[in-house]
Amino acid sequence: MKLLRYGDKGREKPGLLDESGTLRDLSGQVDDIAGEVLSDGGLARLRELDPATLPAVEGTPRLGPCVGGVSKIPAIGLNYSDHAAESNLPVPSEPIIFTKAVSSLSGPYDDVERPRNSQSLDWEVELAIVIGKRTKYVTEEAAMDHIAGFAVMNDVSEREFQAKRQGQWTKGKSHDTFAPLGPWLVTRDEVGDPHVLDLWLDVNGERRQTGNTRTLIFNVPFIVSYVSQFMTLQPGDVIPTGTPPGVGMGMNPQQFLNPGDVMELGITGLGSQRQTVISA
């Protein structure tokens, strides 16, 4: 299934994309794509519905972040060996975890803000894991059963804030609009193996990133198990899993985003995003 949220910011409604590409309203079935809805039982109940019986949504409404009720975004850094190399950093011996503020979530086609005093705004296409049930000390073998599905995320980053302004990475990762998520959550049964997915990102029509999840340093079940050793994951929590090479910071000379620039990105089977950069 492809589950999504549509409507004005902060007032999104739950929806489903049927096989014909028609957006169907789920408001009469669930309150949101969140919480218990993301559990195996909740998803099974949605699968039992005949999409043709659900109201079709007219027009082209705004799409919001595809998951609601997100309590945290523990992200994984430097999880592609070739990205670590372009960053002039060693391949990590265990996953690097940093936090993106929940307030950074935005829709897949919303504008991305360049913060005030920003000089180094960068892009990062990433596979995002969406947790489906409470997860604490889960084993690697059982980890996939705790995943509701997957989505595209652009882990937008301000590199000077991230690396040169003291402290941890969070301040360079958490500005409003720095976590476009969607367009939809694709349930894990439909994704199949998450380690064979192509990723890509263009800036102003020019290809910047090309990668495949088969080159992840730490794979999906290991990441979920690892993160759950340090914090309890709740339904709807989002784990971005790292980005392949081709970010602006790694180019020679470095290239960063300016107002008016357009990012387009996507992952096989998970859909695509498009954002225009504006000034905050």
What CATH number is associated with residue 256? 3.90.850.10
136 found inside a domain: yes
Q: How far is CA 202 from CA 117, 129, 237, 261, in A?
A: 24, 22, 27, 10
Beta-carbon count within 10 A of 198 CB: 14
- The reported pTM is 0.97
81 found inside a domain: yes
Residues composing the chain: 280
User: What pLDDT is attached to residue 166?
Assistant: 84
User: What pLDDT is attached to residue 276?
Assistant: 99
Distance CA 71, CA 136 (A): 15
238 found inside a domain: yes
According to DSSP, the residues that pair with 130 across neighbouring strands are 149, 238
User: What pLDDT is attached to residue 254?
Assistant: 96
226 found inside a domain: yes
User: What pLDDT is attached to residue 242?
Assistant: 97
User: What pLDDT is attached to residue 129?
Assistant: 98
61 found inside a domain: no
The DSSP annotation for 15-44 comes to EEE-TTS-EEE-TTT-S-SSGGGGSHHHHH
84 found inside a domain: yes
Which structural domain, as residue segments, surrounds residue 129? Answer: 68-279
Contact 148/132 with Cβ under 8 angstroms? yes
91 found inside a domain: yes
57 found inside a domain: no
Number of domains in the chain: 1
Letter for the amino acid at 88? N
C-alpha closest to that of 170 among 102, 216, 114 = 102
Q: SS3 for 68?
A: coil
Please state whether the peptide bond connecting residue 183 to the residue before it is cis, i.e. omega within 30 degrees of 0. Answer: yes
Q: For every one of its 280 residues, what pLDDT tens digit does the chain have, with 9 covering 90 and above?
A: 999 999 999 999 999 999 999 999 999 999 999 999 999 999 999 999 999 999 999 999 999 999 999 999 999 999 998 777 777 778 899 999 999 999 999 999 999 999 999 999 999 999 999 999 999 999 999 999 999 999 999 999 999 999 888 888 999 999 999 999 999 999 999 999 999 999 999 999 999 999 999 999 999 999 999 999 999 999 999 999 999 999 999 999 999 999 999 999 999 999 999 999 999 9
User: What pLDDT is attached to residue 90?
Assistant: 84
